[in-house]
């Protein structure tokens, strides 16, 4: 590292940039005290045929003036040019002047649309040698960075490519003509906001001045470059070539894209980092550009790109790596029997696989994801055995005979199921939106209801005064809607299916559950009479039926002793849910199913749908005014599609696409 630069060189882009402000010439002002007083030049002073207008910069590398060249002034051209004067220590040195003129002639031979052209070279008594170059309207790339990236977060990749593409072409053109720039940096790139034109300035001439200053004066100056943009070979005093410019262009691109420089430090610390430190890792969304910059800023110049255009093309062609698409493995079916933890685990697995939450909100209320699985459908005991076990409740054998034979059924597809029965509020929203009139209201027969003046348990019907709106007891918005027929439920579902499905959801169609789907959702991995066990006396934990609360109002030996606290239907979700997270699957209200009612067809073991026609639709789940024996998971009911009752409601299912 003995050959590394030891001091900060004066930036030299400012000395050629024609449209500048004070901060562009910070390097000149910093170094002025270290030099002999410059010859006095004043605005409006004539220098040969040129008339000086204003000084654009001054410092150890000379003075830069905006001037008017009458030979270039006409109706279309302002005649503005830039005059660059040598510093006093070189101005009258014939050897230095010859070196400068030789460098000038080499650069003057460059003719490229994105290289600032050199027009002429002058030599005036008392002022010495000076160069004449085109005056460019615009700002430096450094100023553009301040304007477009004040937070230093980086510019968009396409913006960077647009800005640097002309510079890359200009550099390659110069390299083909055996010239290198040696000081690529934002200060040496001029951008015209009006035309979006980009030009490269200061093509190696300031480097010649620096060389002459070290050779012919007592001042020690670096041979070329600005530290932050210098390549390892520049820092180590080695021969420079086209690859050195390509390195500097890569540093400028990095700075534009990230808002910061790739290497940091002062003096030899920076030189050491440039020469030996690894390039820092780019973060997303630029990570895919890392290989391009690793090559573009390779320590060994032979490992870099063969041209500046090739570097920029690689930058443009680099694409983010295609994301690794991990196709999740399809979870297994829920087996039988399954513990609560096993049920929830499979439910979560299917949630991740389908990329939908376990519980989602919909116009009809919350829906719960039910994974596919296997279960025993129907009763494992004979009707006689069930009658014996539930003798206290005086069950009717004919009501139980339809539950056999039990068969193993597979539900092959996941679906969503209503967390609860459809509520009064949700049904009211449907009626308000559509003006729908329910069957009990249309046929004027009405439904069922509670009449405190009636005999017995006071439940009477059909009467026109009772509808879904009025049941004879207080109902909140959160009560399940009742006194609705199967046909009314179908009308509600048609309305729900017309609502816009949220973007990105996998919903296909809402409908009523088929009987097999309903019992599978109810059991949730269990094979007992109820999803909380076999003891009817514990039924009040999961639902309400004819229980101790009923018995206090209407004494009966057929009630269970436990008290639900609800004499009539209860608001939804008041009891313990099953392992799927479904509430009130047993008790509270019976629920219409999609199927026509018929005896079980034991030959169908996958996704049974019931018969194609019939006279009655299936009802499932028991209700608040039924005995515990009739609220078992396997218990079946039926009624005509036009039937209505204060103990009948419905719950939705949604197929997944």
pLDDT in tens, 67-115: 999 999 988 889 999 998 888 777 778 887 888 788 778 888 889 999 9
Q: Is the pLDDT of residue 508 over 50?
A: yes
> What confidence score (pLDDT) does residue 26 get?
31
pLDDT at position 24 is 34
Mean pLDDT of 13-30: 32
**pLDDT > 90: percent of the chain:** 73
pLDDT, tens only, 360-412: 998 889 999 999 999 999 999 999 999 999 999 999 999 999 999 999 999 99
φ, ψ of residue 396 to 5 degrees: the values are -95, 120
pLDDT band at 499 (very low <50, low <70, confident <90, very high): confident
pLDDT at 260: 96
Q: Residue 198 pairs with which residues in a beta bridge?
A: 191
Dihedral angle at the C-alpha atoms of 219, 220, 223, 228, nearest 10 degrees? -120
The arithmetic mean of pLDDT across residues 142-151, rounded, is 95
Average pLDDT over residues 43-70: 88
- What's the pLDDT at 1? 38
Is 50 exceeded by the pLDDT of residue 162?
A: yes
In three state form, how does the secondary structure of 495-507 look? HHHHCCCCCCCCE
Mean pLDDT to the nearest integer, 239-262: 96
pLDDT-derived band at 205 (thresholds 50, 70, 90) equals low
pLDDT of residue 514: 98
Reported as a pLDDT band with limits 50, 70 and 90, residue 217 is low
pLDDT of residue 560: 97
Average pLDDT over residues 356-361: 94
- The values of phi and psi at residue 509, to 5°, are -160, 140
DSSP secondary structure string for all residues of 75-137: SS---EEEEEEPPHHHHT-HHHHHHHHHHHHHHHT---TTBPPEEEEEEETTTEEEEEEE---
pLDDT band at 267 (very low <50, low <70, confident <90, very high): confident
pLDDT digits (tens, 9 = 90+) for 329-340: 999 999 999 999
Mean pLDDT confidence for 416-440: 97
Percent of the chain residues past pLDDT 70, beyond the cut: 89
DSSP string spanning 292-317?
Answer: HHHHHT-SSGGGS-SSHHHHHHHHHH
Separation CA 115–CA 189 (nearest Å): 9
pLDDT surpassing 50 at residue 503: no
Please report the pLDDT score of residue 10 as a whole number: 33
Mean per-residue pLDDT for 154-158?
A: 96
Rank 30-39, 88-97, 151-160 by mean pLDDT and report only the highest.
151-160
Helix or strand (DSSP H, E) at 388: helix 383-389
d(CA 531, CA 577): 9
Q: Which two tokens stand for residue 285?
A: 């969304």
Of 106-110, 240-244, 370-374, 623-627, the least confident: 106-110
Q: What is the largest CA-CA distance in the chain?
A: 130
Q: Which helix (H) or strand (E) holds 656?
A: strand 652-656
Name all domains of the chain by residue range, CATH numbers in brackets: 1-136+205-216 (3.30.200.20), 139-200+226-321 (1.10.510.10), 340-436+487-656 (3.90.1580.10)
What is the C-alpha separation between 491 and 443, in angstroms, rounded? 16
pLDDT band at 196 (very low <50, low <70, confident <90, very high): very high
Lowest model confidence (mean pLDDT) among 104-118, 143-157, 281-295, 309-323:
104-118
Of 422, 569, 590, 415, the residue nearest 495 (C-alpha): 422
pLDDT in tens, 525-570: 999 999 999 999 999 999 999 999 999 999 999 999 999 999 999 9
For residue 504, pLDDT beyond 60: no
Instruction: State the pLDDT confidence band at 164, using cuts at 50, 70 and 90.
Output: very high
Q: Look at residue 219 and tell me whether its pLDDT is greater than 80.
A: no
Least confident of 62-66, 69-73, 90-94, 416-420: 90-94
Residue 138's nearest CA partner among 191, 202, 195 is: 191
> How would you classify the pairing of strands 139-140 and 189-192?
antiparallel
285 prior amide bond cis, ω within 30: yes
Q: Distance from CA of residue 568 to its chain's centroid?
A: 49
């Amino acid at each position: 590292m003995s050959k590394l630069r030891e001091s900060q060189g004066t930036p030299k882009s400012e000395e050629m940039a024609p449209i500048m402000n004070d901060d562009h010439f910070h390097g000149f002002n910093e170094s002025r005290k270290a030099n002999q007083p410059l010859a006095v030049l004043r605005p409006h002073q004539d220098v040969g045929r040129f008339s000086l207008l204003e000084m654009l910069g001054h410092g150890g590398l000379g003075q830069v003036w905006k001037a008017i060249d009458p030979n270039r002034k006409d109706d279309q051209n302002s005649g503005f040019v830039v005059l660059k004067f040598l510093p006093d220590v070189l101005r009258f040195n014939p050897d230095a002047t010859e070196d400068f003129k030789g460098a000038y002639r080499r650069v003057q031979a460059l003719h490229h649309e994105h290289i600032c052209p050199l027009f002429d070279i002058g030599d005036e008594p008392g002022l010495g040698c000076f160069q004449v170059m085109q005056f460019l309207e615009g700002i430096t790339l450094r100023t553009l960075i301040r304007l477009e990236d004040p937070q230093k977060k980086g510019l968009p990749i396409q913006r960077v490519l647009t800005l640097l593409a002309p510079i890359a072409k200009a550099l390659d053109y110069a390299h083909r003509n055996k010239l290198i720039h040696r000081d690529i940096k934002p200060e040496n790139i001029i951008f015209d906001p009006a035309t979006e034109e980009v030009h490269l300035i200061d093509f190696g001439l300031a480097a010649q001045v620096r060389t002459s200053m070290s050779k012919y004066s007592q001042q020690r100056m670096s041979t070329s470059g600005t530290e932050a943009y210098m390549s390892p070979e520049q820092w180590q005093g080695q021969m420079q070539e086209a690859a050195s410019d390509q390195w500097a262009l890569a540093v400028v691109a990095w700075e534009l894209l990230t808002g910061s420089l790739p290497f940091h430090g002062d003096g030899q610390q920076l030189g050491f980092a440039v020469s030996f430190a690894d390039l820092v890792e780019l973060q997303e969304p630029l990570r895919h550009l890392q290989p391009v910059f690793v090559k573009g800023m390779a320590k060994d110049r032979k490992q870099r790109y063969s041209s500046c255009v090739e570097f920029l093309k690689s930058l443009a062609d680099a694409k983010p790596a295609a994301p690794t698409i991990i196709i999740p493995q399809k979870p297994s079916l829920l087996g039988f029997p399954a513990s609560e933890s096993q049920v929830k685990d499979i439910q979560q697995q299917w949630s991740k696989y389908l990329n939908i939450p376990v519980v989602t909100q919909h116009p009809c209320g919350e829906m719960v994801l039910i994974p596919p699985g296997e279960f025993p459908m129907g009763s494992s005991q004979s009707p006689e055995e069930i009658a014996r076990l539930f003798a206290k409740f005086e069950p009717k054998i004919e009501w139980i005979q339809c539950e056999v034979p039990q068969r193993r059924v597979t539900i092959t597809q996941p679906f969503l199921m209503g967390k609860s029965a459809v509520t009064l509020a949700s049904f009211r929203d449907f009626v308000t939106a559509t003006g729908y009139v329910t069957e009990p209201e249309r046929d004027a027969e009405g439904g069922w209801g509670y009449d405190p003046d009636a005999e017995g348990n006071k439940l009477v019907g059909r009467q026109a005064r009772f509808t879904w709106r009025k049941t004879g007891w207080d109902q909140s918005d959160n009560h399940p809607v009742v006194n609705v027929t199967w046909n009314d439920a179908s009308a509600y579902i048609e309305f729900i299916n017309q609502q816009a499905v949220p973007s990105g959801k996998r919903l296909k169609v809402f409908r009523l559950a088929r009987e097999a789907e309903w019992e599978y959702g109810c059991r949730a991995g269990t094979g007992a009479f109820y999803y909380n066990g076999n003891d009817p006396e514990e039924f009040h934990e999961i639902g309400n039926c004819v229980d101790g609360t009923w018995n206090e109002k209407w004494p009966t030996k057929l009630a269970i002793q436990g008290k639900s606290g609800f004499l009539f239907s209860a608001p939804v979700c008041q009891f313990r849910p099953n392992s799927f997270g479904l509430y009130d699957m047993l008790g509270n209200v019976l629920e219409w199913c999609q199927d026509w009612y018929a005896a079980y067809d034991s030959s169908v073991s996958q996704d049974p749908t019931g018969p194609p026609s019939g006279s009655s639709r299936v009802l499932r789940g028991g209700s608040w005014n039924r005995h515990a024996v009739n609220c078992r998971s396997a218990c079946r009911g039926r009624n005509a599609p036009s039937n209505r009752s204060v103990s009948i409601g419905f719950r939705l299912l949604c197929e997944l696409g």
